[in-house]
Amino acid sequence: MRAVICRGLDGPSALVFGEMPRAELGPRQVRIAVKAAGVNFADTLIVQGKYQVKPALPFVPGLEAAGTIVEVGPEASGVKVGDRVMAALGIGAFAEDVVCNASATFPMPAGMDFVSAAGFPIVYGTAQAALSRRANLQAGETLLVLGAAGGVGVAAVEVGKAMGAMVIAAARGADKLEIARKHGADHVIDYAAEDIRERIKAITDGRGLDVIFDPVGGDVSDAAFRSLRWEGRIVIVGFAAGRIQQIPANLLLVKNISAVGLFWGDYRNRDPQLTQEWFAALARMYEQGKIKPHVSHVLPAEKAGEAMELLLARKSTGKIVLTF
């Protein structure tokens, strides 16, 4: 099968497009003919050997895909040949054929195309788990989304709004903030040009934030953290800025703040039923028009390295998707 191949941990520029053998189908697995695959920040780390998961070389990268089921294992339940699905994977999505557990697939909502579906599982799954499970976001609360024009940021803006929160979107530059506004943000902050703490104070009339969704880390996270109100929560989902922030424990104590992390992949492995419930809720949001994936670039799979470089250079918004 044709696939994007990582033969050494030398980064996106070293990826090659070639032939890889098809995987054998296990009893509880399905085979998907891949139409499109989403590109994630984690993919750029995996091909550099900087991610918590380190596959044996050579391997096919890619955490998420969308396509049609063409083969079903004898013990796989809830799926059939011909189903249009999206899949959340560990690796392997950047290929025209992928095998995965049936529990890692989710039905595509009515009306969704393959490109939108390919960029859906990781970012919307992360946003849903972070806000509903880890932050326990409630209707009427104030949510700050950092990195709000990135893939997971746009998803968090939409999911937070669908859950009834007032959403403040923070990003770098007017163009990116306009994307967040179009996806439902009530207020925006340009942290390249504005004092984030002063703007939060003005927007909330001094009350502060209930929840922070943080895929960024670094200086922006440090500043936002100090704007959490009493019993506020921060959910840490990544460190796109490159620096892992150090949270002052004294502020956790005096303001009864909760700082929690989210590694969404663990929920897929430990509680697949809960993950299916989250995706059923996300499908309803999509069908009601409350969420709409934003894809800024669609490239052929042969250009996977170029797609990752665009992501690292922050030249994309929302998602980048590869097609076969």
Q: In this structure, what is the dihedral angle of CA atoms 156, 109, 3, 27, given to the nearest 10 degrees?
A: 110
Cα separation, 285 vs 287, whole angstroms: 6
Q: Residue written as tokens 């709000």?
A: 148
From CA 38, how far away is CA 101, in angstroms rounded? 18
> Beta 84-88 vs 105-107: how paired, if at all?
antiparallel
* DSSP-H helix ranges across the chain: 41-46, 114-118, 121-128, 151-162, 174-182, 196-203, 218-225, 249-254, 264-270, 272-287, 304-312
Q: Map out the domains of the chain as residue ranges.
A: 2-120+293-323, 123-264
Contact present, 217 and 244 (Cβ < 8 Å): yes
pLDDT in tens, the chain (324 residues): 999 999 999 999 999 999 999 999 999 999 999 999 999 999 999 999 998 889 999 999 999 999 999 999 999 999 999 999 999 998 999 999 999 999 999 999 989 999 999 999 999 999 999 999 999 999 999 999 999 999 999 999 999 999 999 999 999 999 999 999 999 999 999 999 999 999 999 999 999 999 999 999 999 999 999 999 999 999 999 998 889 999 999 999 999 999 999 999 889 889 999 999 999 999 999 999 999 999 999 999 999 999 999 999 989 999 999 999
Domain 2-120+293-323 annotated CATH 3.40.50.300: no
pLDDT of 265 reads 85
Q: What is the pLDDT of residue 242?
A: 84
The order of strands in the sheet holding 209-214 is 187-190, 166-171, 142-146, 209-214, 228-236, 258-261
Report pLDDT for 240. 87
CA distance 49 to 8: 9
The fold of 123-264 is Rossmann fold (3.40.50)
40-69 per-position pLDDT tens digit: 999 999 999 998 889 999 999 999 999 999
CB count, 10 Å around CB of 54? 11
Question: What three-state secondary structure class fits 195?
Answer: coil
